[in-house]
Amino acid sequence: MKNNKFKACKISVVILLSLFSLVIFAGCGDTAEDVISREDVETFLAEEEADSYRSDLSTATDDDNDGTLKSDNTPTAEDTENTVVAPTSDQAQALKEAVISGMSEENTDVLTELISRADTETEKIYKEGIIPGNTGSGLLDDALGIEFNKELLNIKGKIESHLLDDDLDEIIELHDLASDTRDMGYIEDLYHMLSDMDRYLLNFDTNAVKEDYFGRLHVWEDFGTVSIDTDYDDDDRMLAIQDALRDVARKEVTPAYEDRILDDYRELYEYNDAVIGYIYIDGTVIDAPVLQTLSDYEYYLHRDIDGNESEPGCIILDADSEIGIGTAADGYLEGYEPSSIQLIHGHNMRNGTMFGSLLKYENESYADSHAYIQYDSLYEHRTYEVICAFYSEIYPEESDEFKYYTYNRLESEKEYETWRKGIDEMALYERNVSSGYDDEFIVLSTCAYQTDNGRFAVMGVRIR
C-alpha cells in the first residue's frame, strides 16, 4: 500500500520528462514560453504531492479510535519492521571484544587501522563519484594501498574468532569487482561495508549519526538473531556472539544495582566496570580484584586492570560462572543468581604473585592454617572454606577424562554427584567440611608443571 503514491508520482514524472523530450526535439523554433523548465518540473511535483496528500486525507479514517487518521498510504508496522537500527556503544564494544578474542594487540591495531584507512578513502571516492587509477586489478591501489587485498587476507588469517570471515571475503570481492568494472555500485557497497565495520564496530564513533549506519555487515545480522538462552552446541561463531550478547545484557542491568555496590568496591568498579568482585586469603599474597569479560573471557588474564598487556595479568572469573547481582539476604536479580561453582583463574607466577602461592595448598597442614577464602561480589561479603586441593590437566575435547574446568552450574543432584566424584578422586586430601548439592562452591585454578597443560586447583564451599 505504501508504494502507491510513489508509483503514481513516478508515472507522472515519466510523462512529464517525455513531454520535456518532445519539446526539446520539436525544433529550435519554439519560444521560451513553450520550453518546460526545471522550475516547471519542481512546481508540477509539488502540486502532485499536495494532491496526493489531500487525497490521502479525504480517505483517512480513525479505525483504531486512537485519535489518529490513517489512510491506505500510512506506513504500517509491517512497512517499518525492516528499518535498520544502529548498534549501541555497548553492543559494538562487546562484539568487538568477541571479534578480536585471541588476537595480539599489534594485530588488532593492524586490523582497525587498515579498515579505518580503507573506509576514509572509499568514502571519498564514492562521494566524489570518480574512481582513481587505470582499469584492471590495480584500479583502487592509489587510494587503498597497492596490496590492500593481500593485507586484508593476511590479517583475516589472524582473527581467531573467524567472526568477520564472511564480511572480509565480501569486501575483498567488492574491491576486485570495483577495480575490474569501474562500477560505482560496487564502490557504494564497498563503502557501506567498510563504514559499518569501521564506525560501528572496530572504531565505534560516538558522534556518528544513525543515518550513517547501513546495516551491511553479516556479523551484525547474526548478532540480531542469536538468543542468550539458546544452546548452540558446537557452533563456535554463535557461541562467541552469544557471549557478546551476555556482556551487553549484564552492562544493561548492572546500573540499576549500582547504588547497592559496597563502599569498599565502588571506586574500583568506577575505575573499570569489568571488576565484578574481590578475592583475599589472609596470610597469603592473594589480595586482588576479580574481573570478568564474557565476550573475550581471557582478555584480562593477559592484561593489567588498565588493559595494558601484562605477563601476570589479572585474576579472572570464568565466562560461564555468574557471581550474582544482589545479595543472599535480599535476593538476587532473576537470571543473575550465583552459579553453583565460582571458577576463578590466575597465573602461577614464579615470584609468587597472582596465584603463584596457590600450590602451597598441596599440603593439608597449609590448608588448615589458610582455610578461609574471602571472595566478595560487588554487593556482599562472602566467605568460603577450603575442602581439598588437586592436580589435573587440560584434556583434549574428545577425551572422556573428568574435566573440572568445564563445570560452572550444577543443574541436578546427579550432575553434582558426577562433579563431586571427579573432584574426590583427584583430591590430595579432604578436610572435614560439610557440603552438598544446595551449596555454593569455589574453585581456584592455576597452571602447574607436573605434566603438559597441567593444572592445580583448590576447591571450597561457601559458609557465609
- Its domain, for residue 340, covers 262-462
The domain boundary, picked from 25, 48, 73, lies at 73
Q: Which of 73, 108, 132 is the last residue of a domain?
A: 73
Q: Which residues contact 268 (CB under 8 A, 6 or more apart)?
A: 275, 278, 289
* CATH code, 358: 2.40.260.10
Residue 207's pLDDT band, with cuts at 50, 70 and 90, is: low
- Domain co-membership, 95 together with 64: no
- Asked, for residue 159, whether it belongs to a domain, the answer is yes
Same domain flag for 133 and 273:
no
Q: Tell me the CA distances in angstroms from 121 to 41, 113, 114, 211, one per residue in order.
A: 36, 12, 11, 19
Contact predicate 353/421, CB 8 Å:
no
pLDDT surpassing 60 at residue 74 = no
361-400 pLDDT, tens digit each? 999 999 999 999 999 999 999 999 999 999 999 999 889 9
| H or E element at residue 14 | helix 4-25
pLDDT value of residue 279:
97
| 291: three-class secondary structure by DSSP | strand
**Of 180, 209, 225, the domain-final residue:** 225
Is 382 a domain residue? yes
Count of other CB atoms within 10 angstroms of residue 227: 10
In a domain, 455, yes or no: yes
Lowest-pLDDT range, 58-67, 193-202, 263-272? Answer: 58-67
Give helix then strand counts, H and E, for the chain: 14, 10
- Confidence check: pLDDT of 150 > 80: yes
Residue 126 lies in a domain: yes
Quick one: 109 and 9 in the same domain? no
Nearest to 388 by CA among 342, 339, 416, 423: 423
Q: Is the pTM of this model over 0.85?
A: no
Residue 154 is assigned to a structural domain of this protein: yes
Rounded alpha-carbon distances, angstroms, from residue 408 to 164, 228, 449: 29, 17, 24
Residue of 294, 289, 267, 235 whose CA lies nearest to 90 = 294
Residues 23/36, Cβ–Cβ less than 8 Å: yes
Q: Is the pLDDT of residue 82 over 70?
A: no
Do residues 68 and 94 both lie within one domain? no
In a domain, 253, yes or no: no
Distance separating alpha carbons of residues 434 and 196, to the nearest angstrom: 55
Band of pLDDT at residue 35, cut at 50, 70 and 90? very low
Are 151 and 93 spatial neighbours (Cβ–Cβ below 8 Å)? no
Tell me how far apart the alpha carbons of residues 5 and 13 are, in angstroms, rounded to a whole number.
12
The number of folded domains in the chain is: 3
The predicted-structure confidence for 260-301, as pLDDT tens digits, reads as follows 999 999 999 999 989 999 999 999 999 999 999 887 788 899
Same domain (yes/no): 163, 281: no
